[in-house]
Structure 1
Amino acid sequence: MTAHDTAWRFHAHPEGRVLDVRLEGTALKVTPLDGDRHGSTWALREQPGTPRLEWLGACAGEPDEAHLLAAIEATFQRHPAARQLALQSPLPTGTRLVDAGIVTPVEGALPTVAREAFWQWQRAWLPQPREPFAQRFVVTQGKRHPLRPAKPQGTVYRRHIPWLGKTLTLDTIDIERDLPAFHRWMNDPVVAHFWEEEGDLARHRQYLEGIAADPRVTGLVGRFDGEPFGYFEAYWAKEDRIAPFYDAADHDRGWHALVGEARFRGKPFLTAWMPSVSHYLFLDDPRTQRLVIEPRADNEKMIRSLGRCGYAHVKEFDFPHKRALLGVLWRERFFGEALWIPRADPTAASPAPARRHEPSLEDIHANP
């Protein structure tokens, strides 16, 4: 077997670009796959505790920022337990990575990149990062909340999943393109068990048109290597039905999910898409400090899966249509504990044993 065959591979997507990262020995090579731009070469010194990333380019030059982001992300993927890395490289002109707190100068030593800070840098995963929307308050149906920005269009998040060897994307829903799959998923018995939205194509078109017209909610389609597998609804909690049941902050977000394709159900995929949805919602607005979710309270396995991904089990409460459990994920915990890395066991205790068997989140991934 050749060195080419044994190379460690990774794809990075900073600022919407596609960069192939290959590690052969200590040489980390970043090659664009979206054009004929030049590649770059780095050295990854795999020292204990704090890996060191060195740029091997021209002494008088500086690396492309996208290449630097790709090399940093690949280093943290290669060393998932590392909380920081040492960076031996000239910084791109403008030093916005320093200004943003991603790179920290250290007197008498190499600058460092903290994992917790880097994973909050929008440009590494969002093709079209947005500045925080200016805060102005409005009242909708008696609820006072910040005016929300226009909903995004197209691909909003892209991340390579090393243990699957696939790239996960979140795309805003396009009714004409996505309606056939959405219609089929809603009529799947395991999805219908929770969503209760079975019906004909006209009903499902009307449903999606309602989501498109609602400034509170953004419909998203998840894809692995371009193949659609599930549907997600991200909403602003302050205007949602969940708001009366806890102290909803102005920029809290919540979400619902279903995985419609059976072959994408199971733990390896769940540990890819669930943290990715959380990651996207935290990146979309840096003022978002909490994510909330409200699965059925008697679905023990689903709640345990949420615990693996960092959602604390706060309390049970009653919606008109179900008894629910409030799950909350804090920004500080997600980034501080690197919750995008799969965990073997729940990180929070489960509530009382289920009163009756429900399909697990690993089985159906549905929580309307």
Structure 2
Amino acid sequence: MTATTAPPELSTRPFDLDRDVPLLHRWVTNHRARFWGMEHASVEDVRREYAAIAASDHHEARIGLEAGEPVFLMETYDPHRHELAAHLRLLPGDRGMHFLVAPTDRPRHGFTRAVITAVLAECFADPAVGRVVVEPDARNTAVHALNAAVGFVVEAEARLSDKTALLSTCTRAAFERSSR
């Protein structure tokens, strides 16, 4: 008989500038987070970026927890107010999403998939959301494979201000099929 591991219990809470900026700075400046685009950011750069998100009425950051410990970052945004809107036909009910798993020296098999599944479940918990939109760096082959595994379909490649991105969408139905 093969032992199996139960999926982790994951939850999120609102991002707290004072508590979370130092932690997030360590995450985003780690080489494993290079596609996040903040590898050389200072603590103040991270504070400025997340203060702007906190002040936004269309962008939200949340810290993901496992057993009360921060292990990932989740962001949601209105893609209609993002530069990707010029490159992709958006629909009512679309929600943009970013996620970042905390870098670790001890990777856990299947953990990143558990995180993206929890993030998408949280996005789709809002009945108004019909589709999730992402724009990962075109060079990030690991996240493209992960996105495909949870139901994302590449719609277009686009040159954005900070990267060449693969614009991808995941419908509620595609996510539900991937979760079975």
TM > 0.5 between the two? yes
Distance 1:311 1:234, change over 3 A: same
Matches of 1:256 and 1:217, distance apart in 2: 11
Choose from 143, 155, 170 the match for 1:329: 170
Contact 1:229–1:264 (8 Å) recurs in 2: no
Q: Which residue of structure 2 lines up, in the alignment, with residue 305 of structure 1?
A: 146
What does the per-residue CA deviation read over 1:287-340, in whole Å, with 9 as the maximum and x for residues that have no partner? 2111111112233332111111111122212213222111110112222x1x23
Q: How far apart are 1:266 and its partner, in Å?
A: 4.7
What does the per-residue CA deviation read over 1:337-357, in whole Å, with 9 as the maximum and x for residues that have no partner? 1x235xxxxxxxxxxxxxxxx
Letter in 1 for 2:32: V
Letter in 2 for 1:226: G
SS state of the match for residue 139, structure 2? coil
Matches of 2:44 and 2:92, distance apart in 1: 35
Choose from 72, 78, 84 the match for 1:230: 72
* Rg larger for: 1
Matches of 2:50 and 2:157, distance apart in 1: 29
**Matches for 1:24-173 after TM superposition, within 5 Å:** 163-164=5-6, 166-173=8-15
Matches of 2:166 and 2:36, distance apart in 1: 16
Q: Which residue of structure 1 lines up, in the alignment, with residue 35 of structure 2?
A: 194
Q: Which residue of structure 2 lines up, in the alignment, with residue 175 of structure 1?
A: 17
Matches of 1:276 and 1:221, distance apart in 2: 12
Mark the runs of 5 or more structure 2 residues left unpaired by the alignment.
none
What does the per-residue CA deviation read over 1:70-110, in whole Å, with 9 as the maximum and x for residues that have no partner? xxxxxxxxxxxxxxxxxxxxxxxxxxxxxxxxxxxxxxxxx
Q: How far apart are 1:230 and its partner, in Å?
A: 1.7
Q: Which residue of structure 1 lines up, in the alignment, with residue 133 of structure 2?
A: 292
TM-score by length of 1: 0.45
Alignment size in residue pairs = 176
Contact 1:238–1:250 (8 Å) recurs in 2: no
TM-score by length of 2: 0.87
SS state of the match for residue 262, structure 1? coil
Contact 1:237–1:243 (8 Å) recurs in 2: yes
Q: Which residue of structure 2 lines up, in the alignment, with residue 281 of structure 1?
A: 123
Q: How far apart are 1:265 and its partner, in Å?
A: 4.1
Q: Which residue of structure 2 lines up, in the alignment, with residue 206 of structure 1?
A: 48
CA RMSD in angstroms, aligned pairs only:
2.0
Calculate percent identity across the aligned residue pairs. Answer: 27
Contact 2:7–2:114 (8 Å) recurs in 1: no
Q: How far apart are 1:283 and its partner, in Å?
A: 0.9
2:94 is aligned with 1:252 = yes
Matches of 2:139 and 2:11, distance apart in 1: 31
Distance 1:264 1:235, change over 3 A: farther
SS state of the match for residue 83, structure 2? coil
Distance 1:249 1:264, change over 3 A: farther
Letter in 2 for 1:231: L
Choose from 19, 43, 60 the match for 1:218: 60
Choose from 340, 356, 364 the match for 2:179: 340
SS state of the match for residue 250, structure 1? coil
Matches of 1:238 and 1:264, distance apart in 2: 38
Distance 1:258 1:266, change over 3 A: same
Q: How far apart are 1:228 and its partner, in Å?
A: 0.6
Q: How far apart are 1:240 and its partner, in Å?
A: 1.4
Matches of 2:142 and 2:41, distance apart in 1: 28
- Give the structure with the larger helix fraction: 2
